[in-house]
Chains A and B, each alone.
Chain A
């Protein structure tokens, strides 16, 4: 939209001759201010209400179990014994696994796109990666069930059991669904985020840092790995935190491949459960209030985790951008 067409020429649409008002808004100005302010306050109200509702609707469970809720292993709706540990475990394991796979791949790809690739290739690939970040979670779940799970069941898990079966992680019966499937699907989902944010952080590093390293005789890789990446380190870490926060809250894709078994097991082949998955599956079936409150309390735990992680992530990303302006002085 051209700027010219959007600015009225002097006199057109403005009151002619009347002297400009310096003090006090016009009625229309006041109304506009009020409207926008109300909208802004609504945001605050929503957040406040959300936290309140979560807190209030988990009261029964919190008062009955207290802090033990976080470390109890049983999840028994029949006998009304509820503990969060299996779900926290499943959430953490799948997320950690996802990070383990996605971070090297994602940061490596980001380095390639930011430092190595010719501009056209870099642009096209970045565009594609950003599109992939827009794909809905349920579609990754759909693909997970019918492509990833069979692949794991037929190819990957047997292979892992043969080669690394002495480790407790790779023992036990093979179902296809399970913690490993959850981790892999999550990894596929968070990789585009890591690539896209890390790439931006790398591009934010001042060009003369790289030049200084090259001028000292460093190879391209050395200049990148020893100077550019450390400079962007905070921001890249921030992107990892953001991806992790996203992974923790991820519901559908993981629910569809995790196996839905609230047990803690060392083996990655075993089915598991995440906080988001159990809420998704059992919420509408919660027959009594305590059951429901326990599920809401799980939601509260998840909320706190993601808020903390997101806060840390943004702090780290701001640090990188802030460093850049400081250095340019």
Chain B
């Protein structure tokens, strides 16, 4: 991690498109409002009183050292922790004014989709992978299904590469293509929020770049929350960044601020690579 000696104490910020036209935070809508979130595995508390507002149609990144709770936090947003025994979440997490901790979980997961660290396509065809989520609640006819699958594959920038091979099994795709397939699969149900848990950690730099470009496009129609251990990725991709340490949210602000002028010493130590 401590490889910033040449670049100086601050992470250099790339030029960001349309920077001037972004609204200041106060005028943004909040998509997800987290209030007092505590999380427990058994008696062990892993998240401590998190308060956070995730803005709509922006990319929010969560960074922090291993074990700081960023993945745990991400998974509370679509309640994936419920598969693990003895885990529970306390607090209020409002998704558009509805507490997602209380709402019906299958409905929640239609609104909040997830892409995992390693590509995990189903052992079905490319078409069937994308169609899976659509079929769950009734597909509404072959033609409509095919149109939706195409639209999702386009949004994931995969359509041109697979349009002639939709009936091929998904595992024949390369790793990067598989991950974009998983993104298409998640997008097919048209979620409001897309959660990405270190989506590029298993991929090469070129593919990573493609996926990051994707996120720029997607945020226009979707709210994105991405967990990453790669700070430069966060700096490149995210509008807002949150820094977690030992289960607490230390700082949350616009990315340029976090990476150039962090308010907290812990944040600064992490950014400059003094630990973690």
Contacts and interface: CB of A to CB of B under 8 A. Distances in A.
B136 A218 contact: yes
A124 to B, nearest CB: 17
A215 B185 CA distance: 11
A118 interface: yes
Nearest to B110: A217
Contacts of B186: 215-216
B111 to A, nearest CB: 9
Nearest to A326: B171
A217 B122 contact: no
Nearest to B106: A217
Contact of A206 (B108, B110, B120, B136): B120
A216 B123 contact: no
A217 B83 contact: no
B123 A215 contact: no
Contact of B189 (A210, A217, A230): A217
Contact of A215 (B107, B109, B175): B109
Nearest to A219: B106
A215 B110 CA distance: 8
A278 interface: no
Interface residues of A, number: 25
13 contacts: A208-B116, A208-B120, A210-B83, A211-B80, A211-B120, A212-B121, A212-B122, A215-B78, A217-B189, A222-B136, A326-B171, A327-B123, A328-B118
A230 B123 contact: yes
Contact of B182 (A119, A210, A212, A218): A212
A215 B118 contact: no
A323 B121 CA distance: 13
Contacts of B116: 208, 211-212, 215
Contacts of A326: 171
Interface in A212-231: 212-219, 222, 226-227, 230-231
B80 A214 contact: yes
A212 B113 CA distance: 10
Nearest to A223: B83
A329 B172 CA distance: 12
Q: Determine which residue in B106, B116, B137, B185 has the highest number of CB atoms from chain A within 10 A of its CB, and name it.
A: B106
A209 interface: yes
B78 A211 contact: no
Nearest to B112: A215
Contacts of A226: 132
A233 to B, nearest CB: 9
A292 B63 CA distance: 79
The DSSP consensus for interface residues of chain A is helix
Interface in B82-138: 83, 85, 106-110, 113-114, 116, 118, 120-124, 132-133, 136-137
Contacts of A218: 106, 136
Interface of B: 78, 80, 83, 85, 106-110, 113-114, 116, 118, 120-124, 132-133, 136-137, 171, 175, 182, 185-186, 189
Contacts of A213: 122, 132
A211 B171 contact: no
Given A216-B132, A222-B136, A327-B171, A209 B120 contact: yes
A129 B181 CA distance: 41
B83 A211 contact: yes
B136 A118 contact: no
Nearest to A227: B122
A216 B189 contact: yes
A216 B113 contact: yes
A215 B193 CA distance: 12
B128 to A, nearest CB: 10
A156 B132 CA distance: 43
Interface string A307-329: 00000000000000001001111
A218 B83 CA distance: 13
A214 B83 contact: yes
B82 to A, nearest CB: 9
A210 B84 CA distance: 13
Contacts of A231: 122-123
A194 B185 CA distance: 34
Contacts of B85: 118-119
Given A230-B123, A326-B171, A216 B109 contact: yes
Given A211-B83, A217-B189, 6 more contacts: A208-B120, A212-B120, A216-B186, A218-B136, A219-B106, A328-B118
A322 to B, nearest CB: 12
Given A118-B85, A227-B122, A215 B132 contact: no
